[in-house]
Amino acid sequence: MFDQVANVFFDEANELLDNLEGYLLTLESEPDNQEVISAVFRAMHTIKGSSGMFGFDEISKFTHKMENTFDMVRNGIVPVTPQLINLTLQARDHIRSLLGTEITPELQNASQFIIEELNRCVEPYQNKNEQFSVNPTAPSPQELTAQIGLKTENASQSEEEPQQTWRISFIPSANIMQNGTRPELLVKELAEMGTATVVTFLDKIPTLSELSPDNCYLYWDIILTTTKSENDIRDVFIFVDDDSTIKIEKIDDTGIHKKLGEILISRNLLTEEDLTRVIDEQKKVGDLLVSKNVVSQQQIDAALAEQQHLNKLNKDKEIAQNLTPATNQSQIGNQTIRVNSQKLDQLVDLVGELVTFNARLSSISSEIKNSNLSTLIELGENLIFSLRDTSMDMRMLPIGTIFSRFRRLVHDLSNQLGKNIELVTEGAETELDKTVIEKLNDPLVHLIRNSCDHGIENPEKRALLGKNATGTVKLSAKHAGAFVLITISDDGGGLNREAILNKAIDKGLIKTTDQLTEQQIHELIFQPGFSTAKEVSAVSGRGVGMDVVKRDIDSLGGSISVETTPGKGSSFILKIPLTLAIIEGMMVQIGENKYVIPVSGVEECIEFEPKDNSDFLCSHIVARDEYLPCINMRKYFEIDGQPPEEQQVVIVNDQNSKIGIIVDHIIGNHQTVIKPLGKLFKRIEGLSGSTILGDGSVALILDIFKLSDIIRKMDLNTK
């Protein structure tokens, strides 16, 4: 059980670290943005508190130092400098390396090194009396007792900032300790946030024979006066399970000495009618309320503790004025939940099986010809398709989830290459299947690195060319039907046509007599081992990258094209399908077998009129006054037998051009659930997957992008 909760902590911590990186990169360009500085501080504070709660002391101690540093930044003691940003980014990476791993001497040395560098960075701005400890030791929490009215003072609390008083009710779930959470440490952390009065309730403790050492029977009321916000207080409970009850209320502490009855009424433990009734009996209110079983003695004690806390604050003149009531958290419903991605994958797989099952029912219904059965199947089909759309939407993520990672990449490359480069993003809200997004990371990294290294010139050269000293790499995304177009562009020098041709000739890829179009020249950079870099660097020059990019994009069923203008920059356009799970397909027949062509690439279907060259694998046809290359699938798959007298050509578009695919028959549209091919079929070019038909047979899915490459190569060789 602890492992499960620890995994939740790791997920939350990684998300916080991702957000932290974004905050720091924003802070680099906006060093005076107080909201971002506060966001950095809160992220570090949350990581520190949650890691300490789960026993990850090394992370807690290290992050405590980072928190202290940005506390000084937040208070205006230390300015935001490029050195501080770089050190904090390094610290952020180090925290991630500490997550879920055994703490080795090497990691401890790395922690020490970063802290020492931070010392040097902030030392000039510190007062002589404020020494920045190199090897801090986190304060050990004191044991909480059941004593009523326990008070903890925070001596470092600022007297200049406005304070607020909060009533915090924390009722842990019975099994909270079984999840690895120590609730008393959470209470201790709250108490250290300001001036606190902690009341421990004991009434849930059972008899010894019924007591389980694994269960938690205590619960607490904390009256806290602090400069911290409600969000800071809630951060303490960020990893507490949903079965626990947490209530945070702002107390109206405007200087009035609250009476016991008023406090009980504000806690909803007593009505004014009950109070009036017992007061009329002219007895001591607290004792009488207990004797009448209106409230318990511990509830009276808790109210008295709050009364004493407020009275002391009033005497010390530390109460904030004109505070607005906080929103009751119980009125705010959770809008999102965290779901394991594997469960979503299983859901989509089950929906795919339902689609296949419904197709088989439709096939049987067409044979039986029962109208009632047909109606039910049609209803079931509508429900299944609605379920399919909903489950696919659940897998869709904004592509901005990976766009944000590249800000750090460009930041580091700028420093490494000695260039000034800015990353601009557009369309981060564009949604794409999570599986596709995961596979896009590496290709985009290669393309952005190439834009920074090969595309953007150094500042001196840009100045000579009359360009802005800061180069721009732009990353944009937008929907285009069943595809998403992702463009990586830069304002650098563009592709060097002559250098590409000379390199291709040297490597034997082309001959000096070959006449290539601009697009064919651009596609040479995707050949394995191709690089125009004059020397090998840490960033590029080894000829590894662009061929990998094309292979990865092809594996997604997408395509990549290049646009370039000498002296003004280049653009790489990726065309990526929205999803890899379920597609709309056009079913065709070739010989005795059925195949599926993705509808998203189909332009039109026409009759094929065989001529003398009909026995060739590749030939040409005229469609709407266009001369198009085509491929005979019977010849390609080496299918024996005579073709039918009338064949069809499916005209498909692979973004760059159109090609024709000659098939025997066109059957019609088909809802296609994509299944991966086995190892036996991995090396067969022209296939991207398979699907199960309604009768239980298997249909192969044609890869129109690969078929297009095959046609172009054959067409080029015949010229």
Give the pLDDT confidence of 16-75 residue by residue, as tens digits: 888 888 888 888 888 888 888 888 888 888 888 777 767 788 888 888 888 888 888 888
Output the CA angle 314-320-326, nearest 5 degrees. Answer: 120
Sorting pLDDT into bands at 50, 70 and 90, what band is 141? very low
Mean per-residue pLDDT for 321-344?
Answer: 52
Sorting pLDDT into bands at 50, 70 and 90, what band is 134? very low
The pLDDT, as a whole number, for residue 324 is 36
- Least confident range of 242-246, 368-372, 443-447, 673-677: 673-677
Judge whether 601 and 652 are in contact, CB under 8 Å: yes
Give the pLDDT confidence of 378-405 residue by residue, as tens digits: 888 888 888 877 887 887 888 887 887 8
Give the pLDDT confidence of 584-594 residue by residue, as tens digits: 789 999 988 89
**Looking at per-residue confidence, does 712 or 635 come out higher?**
635
**Looking at per-residue confidence, does 257 or 299 come out higher?**
299
Phi-psi region of 411 (alpha: psi -120 to 50; beta: other; left: phi over 0): alpha
Looking at residue 517, its amino acid is T
pTM of the model: 0.59
Spatial distance between the Cα atoms of 711 and 714, rounded to a whole number of angstroms: 5
Output the CA angle 164-166-171, nearest 5 degrees. Answer: 160
Spatial distance between the Cα atoms of 500 and 648, rounded to a whole number of angstroms: 40
Judge whether 531 and 454 are in contact, CB under 8 Å: no
Is the confidence at residue 323, as pLDDT, over 70?
Answer: no
Spatial distance between the Cα atoms of 408 and 522, rounded to a whole number of angstroms: 29
Judge whether 699 and 667 are in contact, CB under 8 Å: no
Only one residue has tokens 């935001």, namely: 80
Closest CA to 300 of 313, 320, 286, 314: 286
Judge whether 177 and 216 are in contact, CB under 8 Å: yes
DSSP string computed for 406-447 = HHHHHHHHHHHHT-EEEEEEE-TT-EEEHHHHHHHHHHHHHH
DSSP string computed for 116-153 = HHHHHHHGGGS-TT----SS--PPPPPPP-S-TTEEE-
Sorting pLDDT into bands at 50, 70 and 90, what band is 186? confident
Spatial distance between the Cα atoms of 17 and 441, rounded to a whole number of angstroms: 18
Output the CA angle 209-211-217, nearest 5 degrees. Answer: 150
Is the confidence at residue 656, as pLDDT, over 70?
Answer: no
**Looking at per-residue confidence, does 647 or 287 come out higher?**
647
What are the helix (H) ranges across 451-578?
A: 459-464, 497-506, 518-523, 546-555
Is the confidence at residue 212, as pLDDT, over 70?
Answer: yes
